[in-house]
Amino acid sequence: MKKILITIVIAATLIGCSDDDQKSYPPPTTGGSGNEVGTAQIWVTSGDESRLLSAQDHLSIIDNKETSYPSITINETEQMQEIEGFGAALTGSSAYVINNLSTAQKNSLLSDLFDVESGAGMSYLRLTIGASDFSLEDFTYDDMPQGQEDPNLDNFSIAHDEMHVIPVANDILSINPEVKFMGSPWSAPAWMKDNESLYGGKLEEQWYATYANYFVEYIQAFENHGIPIDAITPQNEPLHTSGYPTMRMEAQEQANFIKNALGPAFEGANISTKIIAYDHNFDEAGYPMTVLGDGEANPYVSGSAFHAYAGDVSAMSQVHNAYPDKGLYFTEISGGEWSIDFSSNLRWYVQNILMGSTKNWSKNALFWNLALNENHGPTNNGCQDCRGVVTINSSGEIEKNEEYYAIAHFSKFVRPGAHRIGSSNFDDNSGLDGIAFQNPDGSKALIVLNETPTSKTFSVIMGENRFDYTLSSESVATITWE
């Protein structure tokens, strides 16, 4: 009989409970109701932080699928979207605080973040094309004095990014060459905009072709540094303007820019980088539907990207159902001082962002700043109390925040090229939730969340075999098997 090796990762979370959640289950069986056909290895992260990805005793897998516990059944023949990766944004601020560490500290941190074996194995990063609200200063790659223009982009330069972003990105790729990069601009150069400012305003139509070439120059410049840009969005948060680099771009304007300039420019330059529409909140699903609904823009667009600051994650499924041949991407959410409870934050991220987005067809899930300092910065007139995936104190001390552990429970075990696979739902009153994936090497990964403040025993059914486990209160488990 073939032995099955299973790995389980557990992270703690917090939520209120109903009366039904209070019922307890007996401890799981360990082979008495069937023959052992494999073992399970377990790591645990607790909401009280007493255990952080720490290894636990092994458990048994048995050749009996009958169970009285709440159960989830895996169906690997049902293959859904391909997963491209999990990670965060390597903003200018993030790159700066990382790059100012000592060589030993930086190597250790990047291994903790990106090494598949010893760390979280993060596999996808978002870059800002020019400055954002988390950069050291305002800039684009072609800034000109007031009243001057540069239609041939003779002044184009990525010198700002050559200081910190590019060196850190190259360090990351040396640790994990699988990492994908997505680029998103916060603003076009001011001279291309109707208000001649990096703050707000719109891209003037006369500069569509020039701005499209700006993207081509960006992709080629990063490629020359050994950093392939897998995807871009034409505009970060196109329905938002503020006192930091931003630019308004309505849905039909984005469709026009893509079909008349950006798509043809990529085609002409033999650029294979994906064009991803929208890149804003769940509450405006009509925006990407408008872009995809434009018959001339649609062929150039690979998918749509969403943020989670407004609306519901089900918007992603709404777009998927209308355009099932296009990809979905989740590209931004940030934690901060407005919510500082480790346990409740971890539960929310796992359920709403990581499970939520992938259950609604997302091919990735990205958080905002990869790293910030203890003062939530450096900032560039944006959020003053955002939290990075890790915090790097001025002393060099590094704190892994709840965002780190939430991502790690997916990124370490659900590898690029994995597919979401079929899994049944736990009973509604069980307080349990789950999602399953199959990796390119054929191994499976199942994430199970116990939302309640009481421990829950559940069964995982895989064909004729089953695995029982008592999951501690407010915890999430990732299970992998061959």
Q: What is the CATH number of the domain that holds 59?
A: 2.60.40.1180
Domain coverage including residue 210: 92-157+168-342+361-403
Whether residues 100 and 48 fall in one domain: no
Whether residues 397 and 429 fall in one domain: no
Percent of the chain scoring above 90 in pLDDT: 82
Q: Which residue has the higher pLDDT, 346 or 205?
A: 205
Q: Write out pLDDT tens, residues 99-156.
A: 999 999 999 999 999 999 999 999 999 999 999 999 999 999 999 999 999 999 999 9
Residue 53 lies in a domain: yes
Residue 251 lies in a domain: yes
- Which pLDDT does position 471 carry in this prediction? 83
Residue 350 lies in a domain: no
Q: Does residue 378 have a cis peptide bond before it, meaning omega lies within 30 degrees of 0?
A: yes
- Which pLDDT does position 15 carry in this prediction? 30
Whether residues 309 and 252 fall in one domain: yes
Strands 444-450 and 475-481 turn out to be: antiparallel
Whether residues 375 and 436 fall in one domain: no
Percent of the chain scoring above 70 in pLDDT: 91
Is residue 292 within 8 A of residue 298, CB to CB? The reply is yes
CB burial of residue 19 (10 Å; 0-12, 13-18, 19+): exposed
How far is residue 190's CA from residue 53's CA, in Å, rounded to a whole number?
A: 47
Whether residues 304 and 439 fall in one domain: no
User: 3-state secondary structure string, 10-40?
Assistant: EEECCCCCCHHHHCCCCCCCCCCCCCEEEEE
Question: Which residues does residue 87 pair with via DSSP β-bridges, in sequence order?
Answer: 124, 366
Q: Confidence class of residue 339 from pLDDT cuts 50, 70 and 90?
A: very high
Whether residues 320 and 204 fall in one domain: yes
Q: Write out pLDDT tens, residues 3-27.
A: 344 444 444 433 333 333 333 334 4
Q: Write out pLDDT tens, residues 180-238.
A: 999 999 999 999 999 999 999 999 999 999 999 999 999 999 999 999 999 999 999 99
In the predicted model, is pLDDT for residue 321 greater than 50? Answer: yes
- Which pLDDT does position 33 carry in this prediction? 66
The stretch 388-415 carries a mean pLDDT of 95
Whether residues 319 and 442 fall in one domain: no
Is residue 132 within 8 A of residue 165, CB to CB? The reply is no
Residue type, 151: P
Whether residues 275 and 144 fall in one domain: yes
Whether residues 57 and 140 fall in one domain: no
Residues 6 or more apart in contact with residue 19 via CB below 8 angstroms: none
How far is residue 420's CA from residue 447's CA, in Å, rounded to a whole number?
A: 11
Rounded to two decimals, what is the model's pTM? 0.93
Whether residues 386 and 437 fall in one domain: no
Active site residues: 237, 332
Q: Which residue has the higher pLDDT, 55 or 441?
A: 441
In the predicted model, is pLDDT for residue 89 greater than 50? Answer: yes
- Which pLDDT does position 60 carry in this prediction? 81
- Which pLDDT does position 437 carry in this prediction? 97
- Which pLDDT does position 475 carry in this prediction? 87
How far is residue 37's CA from residue 441's CA, in Å, rounded to a whole number?
A: 21
- Which pLDDT does position 216 carry in this prediction? 99
Q: Write out pLDDT tens, residues 352-401.
A: 999 999 999 999 999 999 999 999 999 999 999 999 999 999 998 999 99
Residue 36 lies in a domain: yes
In the predicted model, is pLDDT for residue 39 greater than 90? Answer: no
Residue 415 lies in a domain: no
Whether residues 174 and 276 fall in one domain: yes
The residue to which tokens 């002393």 are assigned = 395
Structural domains of the chain, count: 2
- Which pLDDT does position 46 carry in this prediction? 73
In the predicted model, is pLDDT for residue 331 greater than 60? Answer: yes
Question: Which residues does residue 129 pair with via DSSP β-bridges, in sequence order?
Answer: 185
- Which pLDDT does position 56 carry in this prediction? 66
Closest CA to 317 of 302, 306, 309, 331: 306
Average pLDDT, rounded, for the chain: 92
Whether residues 272 and 372 fall in one domain: yes
Residue 410 lies in a domain: no
